[in-house]
Amino acid sequence: MKSLDDDNSRRRFYKRIFPRESGCPVELEQVSEEILKKCGGVALAIITIASLLAGNDQQIKSKDQWDKILGSIGRGLAEGRTVEDMKRILSFSYYDLPSHLKTCLLYLSIFPEDSWINRDRLICRWIAEGFIQGGDQGIRLFELGERYFSELLNRNLIQSGYDNEGRLIYCHVHDMVLDLICSLSSEDNFVTIFDGTKQSKMNSDSLVRRLSFQNNMSEPNTHWVNATSMSKLRSITLFRTDVL
């Protein structure tokens, strides 16, 4: 995990929360320093918490809200970084999401680590799965999906990827975020990952809804999966390490 010095940490934190302000309000300076200390200079943690504090309505959250987030972080990363400490910080942003964005984010666990995911194909998958509903006031489902995608980008839960002409066409999920959503997805039986490399444990056949085969697809270790016994199965996705 990349670390930043104190000045860079503070600059990145404030820029995300107060993009149109002269700086941090006096009443938030102390709690800001305490939050930054718990982030331990880890860039992903800083951006995650800053995105949570920034909100969506351009309104600065109250000091009580800042204090609540500070208390929720626990010991943070200042006393030694562990995967579980980082996942705890990342989980705040996940649980702050509206339900439709939680579903769209969890769906990204279907893709292998280090994948660059085509934005338009992803939105089409969301629509096919029924994650995008409504389209009120004449808004097309795809346009609504673009808004969902942009919201996940704004919250720094996914990272953007551009083509040679500067067009946004891909997204990427940070390894730590992917670890979190894979864990949550498994707990909820949202996506079941069969990874020939990691020997992932399969959920009970009757609970499997979305099945993702990843990595060693050339190995003869996937033939035993009997999809006909998976009464709730909605989709099967296969990935190869050499073709993504």
Same domain, 91 and 104: no
Query: For a pLDDT cut of 70, what percent of the chain falls above it?
Result: 77
Identify which has the larger pLDDT, 66 or 21.
Answer: 66
Same domain, 114 and 148: yes
DSSP label at residue 188: T
Domain span including residue 25: 6-95
Give the closest residue to 244 by CA, choosing from 155, 115, 158, 139. 115
Same domain, 167 and 194: no
Which of helix, strand or coil describes residue 220?
A: coil
Q: Residue 240: pLDDT band by 50, 70, 90 thresholds?
A: low
Same domain, 120 and 161: yes
Does residue 236 lie within any of the structural domains?
Answer: yes
Does residue 241 lie within any of the structural domains?
Answer: yes
Q: Residue 220: pLDDT band by 50, 70, 90 thresholds?
A: very low
Instruction: Write down which residue in 95, 119, 146 finishes a domain.
Output: 95
Does residue 43 lie within any of the structural domains?
Answer: yes
Which residues, at least 6 apart from 4, have a Cβ–Cβ distance to it below 8 Å? 12, 41, 42, 43, 46
CATH of the domain at 118: 1.10.10.10
Same domain, 80 and 104: no
Residue 43 burial by CB count (10 A; 0-12/13-18/19+): exposed, middle or buried? middle
Q: 199 pLDDT exceeds 50?
A: no
Query: For a pLDDT cut of 90, what percent of the chain falls above it?
Result: 32
Does residue 155 lie within any of the structural domains?
Answer: yes
pLDDT at 57: 59
Instruction: Write down which residue in 95, 119, 138 finishes a domain.
Output: 95
pLDDT in tens, 143-169: 999 999 999 998 889 999 998 888 999
Helices (H) and strands (E) in the chain, counts: 9, 6
- Split into its structural domains, the chain has a count of 3
pLDDT in tens, 99-132: 999 999 999 999 988 899 999 999 999 999 999 9
Other beta carbons within 10 angstroms of residue 238's beta carbon come to 12
pLDDT at 180: 92
Does residue 1 lie within any of the structural domains?
Answer: no
Does residue 120 lie within any of the structural domains?
Answer: yes
Does residue 19 lie within any of the structural domains?
Answer: yes
Per-residue burial over 117-133, b if 16 or more Cβ lie within 10 Å, else e, is bebeebbebbbebebbe
Q: 224 pLDDT exceeds 80?
A: no
pLDDT at 135: 59
Does residue 209 lie within any of the structural domains?
Answer: yes
Same domain, 91 and 102: no
pLDDT in tens, 9-56: 888 899 888 876 667 889 999 999 999 988 888 888 898 899 888 866
Identify which has the larger pLDDT, 205 or 199.
Answer: 205
Same domain, 174 and 103: yes
Same domain, 199 and 173: no
Same domain, 197 and 164: no
Same domain, 43 and 107: no
pLDDT in tens, 80-105: 656 777 888 888 889 989 999 999 99
- DSSP string spanning 151-183? HHHHTTSSEEEE-TTS-EEEEE--HHHHHHHHH
CA distance linking residue 97 with residue 109, whole number of Å? 16
Instruction: Write down which residue in 73, 95, 117 finishes a domain.
Output: 95
